[in-house]
Amino acid sequence: MAVRAGLTTAKVVDAALELVDEQGVEALTLAAVAARTGVATPSLYKHIGSLGDLRGLIGLRVMEDMTRRFTETVVGRSGDEAVRALMHAYRAYVQEHPKRYAAAPMDPLHDELQRAAGLKFMELILATLRSYGLEGSDAIHAARRLRVIVHGFASIESSGGFGLPEGLDDTYDQLVRMYLDDLRGQS
């Protein structure tokens, strides 16, 4: 297989994300990515160091994409409207990209490659919560609660874990209202 002209690290990550979206993160191998990009597997090493590095780059891309999308969602909003919009955008992202979301880092703040993206994501959440007057530990705990609600619900939903006939949107709206009531009670 000849080296494909114009192959870049970004294009390798694009191909890897396509593979993840179609088959899941467990299908991610260098051989599969090489086949998608039209190169021999060793040619990928000109762009990435290892499968682990590629997984890190995928996680970085997912974090950046989520932060960009969620920022666009909350700009110009505040208070309950901003939090509700963020929580719905977060859930929608997982619904749209369940396999890609599964490749997102759970703890980007302790990974050198993903730390800056993780901090931007965290700052977005904290900025969205700022109108409630929460500071320090209270703000961090509120951000964690938001993430647990959205991640937990959306992850169970995307794996088909809610089998009863009651509407999932109704359940999610109840969770969002509970969270907003909790925030208002703290401020």
CATH architecture of 57-186: Orthogonal Bundle (1.10)
Residue 48, Ramachandran bin (φ over 0: left; ψ between -120 and 50: alpha; else beta): beta
Global pTM exceeds 0.85: yes
- Sequence ranges of the domains in the chain: 1-49, 57-186
CATH number listed for the domain at residues 1-49? 1.10.10.60
* Tokens describing residue 15: 């191909």
Question: In the predicted model, is pLDDT for residue 47 greater than 70?
Answer: yes
pLDDT of residue 4: 54
The CA angle 57-62-1, to the nearest 5 degrees, is 45
Alpha-carbon span 185 to 75, nearest angstrom = 24
Query: Model confidence over 82-99: pLDDT tens digits?
Result: 999 999 999 999 999 999
Task: Encode 157-186: b = buried (16+ Cβ within 10 Å), e = exposed.
Answer: bbeeeeeeeeeeeeebeeebeebbeebeee
Distance between CA atoms of residues 23 and 61, nearest Å: 18
Quick one: pLDDT at residue 6?
A: 85
pLDDT tops 90 at residue 36: yes
